[in-house]
Amino acid sequence: MTALILDYFGDWRTRPLVCPTCGWTGTFEEGWTELYEALQDCQCPGEHGSGPRPMLAVLPYPTLQQWQAHAGRLSPGERAYIGQIENGRDRFNRLKLRMASQLPDLPDPVLDLLWDQEAEDLVIRLGAREVWREPVRYEALWRYEQVLALLQAKYGPRLRDLAPTPAAEYHLYGDQTAHPAAVQRLRGRLRQAWEAAGTRQPC
Ligand SMILES: [Zn+2]
Ligand 1 centroid – CA 6 distance (Å): 18
How much of the chain is helix, strand and coil, in % rounded to 5?
40, 25, 35
Ligand 1 centroid – CA 1 distance (Å): 12
Ligand 1 centroid – CA 3 distance (Å): 13
Ligand 1 centroid – CA 47 distance (Å): 6
Q: How far apart are CA 184 and CA 46, in angstroms?
A: 50
Closest CA to 73 of 62, 84, 57, 88: 62
Average pLDDT over residues 123-133: 96
Q: How far apart are CA 4 and CA 57, in angstroms?
A: 4
Q: How far apart are CA 66 and CA 124, in angstroms?
A: 35
Of the pLDDT bands very low, low, confident and very high (cuts 50, 70, 90), residue 2 is confident
Q: Residue 143: which residues within 8 A CB-CB, separation 6 or more?
A: 122, 137
Query: What residue spans define the domains of the chain?
Result: 4-61, 99-196
pLDDT of residue 176: 80
pLDDT of residue 1: 57
pLDDT beyond 70 at 203: no
State pLDDT tens for residues 35-82. Answer: 877 788 999 999 998 888 999 999 988 887 887 788 777 788 887 877
The length of the chain in residues reads 203
pLDDT of residue 103: 96
Ligand 1 centroid – CA 38 distance (Å): 25
**Summary mean pLDDT of the chain:** 89
| Local structure of residue 132 (DSSP, 8 states) | E
Average pLDDT over residues 5-27: 93
pLDDT beyond 70 at 201: no
Ligand 1 centroid – CA 19 distance (Å): 5
The terminus-to-terminus CA distance of the chain in angstroms comes to 71
State pLDDT tens for residues 80-102. Answer: 877 777 778 888 888 999 999 99
